[in-house]
Amino acid sequence: MSENVLGEWLDTAAAALGVDAPDGETRKAVLDLARDVAHNVARPGAPLTAFLLGLAVGRGADVHAASAELSRLAIGGE
């Protein structure tokens, strides 16, 4: 998927939900988290963990700190 198609999709999806589309840094953090979970935990865990991240961010967590912590846990950090 090209970055242009992804960006257009995220703009469309965000508008449908009444939220802002993620910036490039946030996209990278979420995609890195999904990769870490898919490769080190289980593939189905990637979207579910992204969902949990969204819940946490919706409750005030910092997206970058929370995604870094979840990635650390996924790759075997205690």
Q: What is the pLDDT of residues 19-45, one digit of tens each?
A: 999 999 999 999 999 999 999 999 999
Q: Is the pLDDT confidence value at 2 over 70?
A: no
| Side-chain-facing half-sphere of 19: CA atoms under 13 Å | 10
| Side-chain-facing half-sphere of 50: CA atoms under 13 Å | 17
Distance CA 72, CA 17 (A): 29
Residues 6+ apart with CB under 8 A from 46: 33, 34, 35, 37, 38
For the whole model, what pTM was predicted?
0.89
Distance CA 11, CA 5 (A): 10
The reported pLDDT for the residue numbered 77 is 72
Q: Is the pLDDT confidence value at 1 over 90?
A: no
Residue 50 near residue 33, CB atoms below 8 Å: yes
More confident call, 77 vs 75: 75
Q: Is the pLDDT confidence value at 78 over 70?
A: no
